[in-house]
Structure 1
Amino acid sequence: MKTVLIATKNKGKAKEFESLFASKGYEVLTLLDIPNAPDVEETGSSFEENAVIKAEAIARQAGHFVVADDSGLIVDALDGRPGIFSARYAGEDKNDQANLEKVLEELRGVPEGERTARFYCSLALASPNQETITVAGSVEGLIINEPRGDSGFGYDPIFFVKDLGKTMAELSSQEKNKISHRAHALKELESLLDSFLERERLS
């Protein structure tokens, strides 16, 4: 089976990639499968820059192609925060619950109509043999007042998808993989993937 290395140690994120890549015949490996995988410092000022930094650093070490994502929550009433700091919004220990509670606290008293937000995902596909490509995807929603649902991870329990009448955490993995920001980004990546892999084969 063909393999793709996803530059993450986040098991929840890896599951989304597994579901989405399985249909293309790929086995997903993550940094949890790589001994002594580097912890790449994300020094970029945008999702795209951070995804490229991660993908290129891991690709150099792994010696083959890598998909890295940088994704997060953009809340309009918070001037775009938590943005690129989504995973560490409440501190360096990457505590999902603390991050979620900090966003809710900062939005206390903000009316529903002004709680618009989006999940944004940038994907970078890098190889030691060719130029890195990037794609992006997003999904629009509202931040509700309290968590709902037991699925997903991160900010999913407070991100309400109006068209579906559910939070991200109330969706099945199949439902989420149809509409998520990562799903949209992966659809964009899929259109470029065959030519990338062909160049990889010929390099």
Structure 2
Amino acid sequence: MIGKLTGTLADKNPPQVLLECHGVGYEVDVPMSTFYNLPGVGDKVSLLTHFVVREDAQVLYGFGTAGEREAFRQLIRISGVGPRTALSVLSGMSVSDIAQAVTAQDSARLTKVPGIGKKTAERLLLELKGRIGADLGPAAPGGVSDAQADILQALLALGYNEREAGAALKALPPGVGVSEGIKSALKALAR
């Protein structure tokens, strides 16, 4: 099982990226939420992965956060939901949006995702209820401090999407406090 890849980003062609790791190029399908947060071609990147083996193919799916990967794994456990549909859901909604939709049992939010109809949305909500919770809430990028995770949570609660909040978090100086970090991030996002 391949759980994580770290290497050089060789090519970006949505929704697929080519990640070169020690001379081996891995084609990895990623949700758009991960794709938007990738660095430029030639830069180093690390992705958490989920490896799917089928009779006709072997496909590697990559995620920027543990929360995205866990949401993907929860989605593909549902009967009738394959990896492509799960990737589509994660491309159309953030992990926190999925968690909120499940908590509120709001099928209208899920039907806005291309390829998800009313019946599929209702089945997703029914199946995910009880399986989704704090573990699928917004996940902080790997290797961040508790303060940075709190800042990220605050920005997401204020309505910023994961990409905007993540970019603001990267711009903060290391070791910044929660309240000062939130103020600085909000100033950066206001520009």
TM-score, normalised relative to structure 1: 0.29
Structure with the higher strand share, 1 or 2:
1
If asked which structure has higher relative contact order (CA below 8 Å, sep 6+), I would say: 1
TM-score, normalised relative to structure 2: 0.30
